[in-house]
Amino acid sequence: MLFHHISVSDVRLGDHLYRWRRFKLLQGIAVQPNDRSPRISVVMSIGLNGFRLVTVEEFKGNGILRRVLYDQGDSYLHPIKLSGTSFIEKKRPAREIAQNALLLLDTNNTNPEYIEQFFAHGAVNFAQLCCTMSHEQWRHLLQLNGKRNIRI
């Protein structure tokens, strides 16, 4: 599975998604923002430090939707894949990944200055962090709310 193409109907909770737009890698995490609705949405980065919730269709746009692969340590294809599309690390359970992304979105909405400081060099790795950090660690970092200068 060299290219990781998936259809909109194949998107599952906790998926680390990506697509290309104008030679730029756009990344997002599939979440279920409302327990009463089974509809999947995507938390995606916008600009340098902002985040917003969009539909899977909006995230896909006119491009090709793809899923990032994790646990690729023994794969002979891993070294030739583009940076940000394949990782050696194991990912957390899907529900925990979605919780991490929703907490990030909530923190962005309530304290955008902290998110800007947290991702001082841009939020290009936010989806990988959501997928590989435990929710307890993630909550601890985001709930500091500017009490310390932390840069990822």
**pLDDT recorded at residue 68:** 81
Helical pair 94-110 and 135-142, crossing angle rounded to 10 deg: 10
> At 99, phi and psi to the nearest 5?
-60, -45
CATH code, 109: 3.90.1720
**Residue 128 belongs to domain spanning:** 8-142
In a domain, 150, yes or no: no
In a domain, 149, yes or no: no
Residues in the chain: 152
Which of 75-89, 96-110, 112-126 is modeled with the greatest confidence? 96-110
In a domain, 2, yes or no: no
For 129-139, how does the pLDDT look when each residue is reduced to its tens digit (9 = 90+)?
899 999 998 88
First to last CA, the chain: 30
In a domain, 94, yes or no: yes
Total structural domains in the chain? 1
In a domain, 46, yes or no: yes
In a domain, 3, yes or no: no
Closest CA to 101 of 71, 124, 131, 121: 131
For 5-47, how does the pLDDT look when each residue is reduced to its tens digit (9 = 90+)?
888 999 999 999 988 877 777 899 999 988 777 889 999 988 6
Residue 84: burial class (beta carbons within 10 Å; 0-12, 13-18, 19+): middle
How many other CB atoms are found less than 10 A from the CB of residue 33? 14
For 106-125, how does the pLDDT look when each residue is reduced to its tens digit (9 = 90+)?
988 888 888 887 777 667 78
In a domain, 104, yes or no: yes
* Gap between the Cα atoms of 67 and 138, Å rounded: 22
Reported pTM: 0.82
In a domain, 97, yes or no: yes
